[in-house]
Structure formats: C-alpha cells, structure tokens
C-alpha cells in the first residue's frame, strides 16, 4: 500500500461522509482494533492486512462505495472479536441478514456467545425510536426504556 492509496481512500471516505451525513467510523474501529490486539493477536494481524490489502485499495480504486466498504471492515473486526452473525436493523426495528453491500441502517454483530452483548458495526446518520431501543438493549444492555419503565412491564 502506498501513501497515495491511503490518501485517496481517505478523501473518498470524507466525501461520502459529507454527502451522506453519516458518522465517521474510523475512531470507533480503532477502539475495536485495540481490543482485538489485546485479545486476539492473530485476528489483529488479519484485520490490519484486510485494511491495507482490501479496504484501502477498494475504496481508493472505486470498486466499493466507501461507507459500505468501511461497514464491511467493521463486520470483519466484530467477527474477529466474537464469532457470530451480523444483522441490519431497519427503521421499524426488524433484523435482516446483513448483505455486505450497504451502509444503511443500524448494523449489529450478534456474538454466538450469548453472554456477550451485540457489537456495533454501523450507525445510520440518525436512529429511529425502534433502532434506538434495539441499540439500547442489545449493545448498551439497558433494561429500562427512556421513559424509565422496565422492559416487559
């Protein structure tokens, strides 16, 4: 990977973020990488290789839409941290299999280890009430709604 590939990929991501209003995932994914480095060094090496050999060239070369490519990278990181399945949560709060070609919707990775919370992969520019509730329960582990009522009561 050359600096020009990295620079070109960064520019394309910045343009896509500005055009869509989406949130920049890079800082969040850096946190995931640090966690991966501490818990799964081999997975960390694979994630770094994916970043250099797959993500940046695809974005810089235009073969993948920047936000979709970064969301897929987030899925790769999540899968390395906790094997499971990745889903997209639509505006109504319903889960659908993650297709890997879109950055729309709330994207969560559901670990096979049911003792572990869902991992955030991608956020839309804004969450609907149903998406927020899904996020609060599965990712944050909150057991109360925003109005303070207990879930299931």
Q: What integer pLDDT is reported at residue 102 of this predicted model?
A: 62
The pTM assigned to this predicted structure is 0.87
Render pLDDT for 7-29 as a digit per residue (tens, 0 to 9): 999 999 999 999 988 889 998 89
For 50-85, b where at least 16 C-beta lie within 10 A, e where not — what string? bbeeebbbbbbeeebbbbbbbbbbbbbbbbbbbebe
Question: Would you say residue 147 has pLDDT above 70?
Answer: no
Render pLDDT for 34-92 as a digit per residue (tens, 0 to 9): 999 999 999 999 999 999 999 999 999 998 899 999 999 999 999 999 999 999 999 99
| Residue with more model confidence, 21 or 153 | 21
Residues written for the chain? 153
């Amino acid at each position: 990977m050359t600096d020009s590939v990295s620079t070109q990929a960064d520019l394309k991501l910045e343009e896509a973020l500005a055009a869509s209003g989406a949130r920049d995932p890079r800082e969040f994914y850096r946190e995931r990488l640090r966690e991966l480095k501490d818990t799964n060094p081999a997975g960390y090496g694979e994630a770094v290789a994916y970043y250099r050999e797959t993500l940046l060239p695809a974005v810089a070369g235009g073969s993948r839409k920047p936000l979709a490519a970064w969301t897929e990278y987030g899925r790769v990181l999540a899968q390395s941290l906790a094997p499971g399945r990745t889903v997209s949560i639509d505006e109504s709060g319903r889960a659908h299999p993650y297709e890997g070609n879109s950055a729309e919707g709330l994207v969560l990775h559901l670990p096979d280890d049911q003792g572990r919370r869902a991992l955030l992969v991608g956020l839309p520019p804004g969450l609907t009430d149903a998406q927020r509730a899904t996020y609060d329960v599965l990712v944050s582990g909150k057991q109360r709604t925003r109005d303070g009522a207990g879930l299931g009561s």
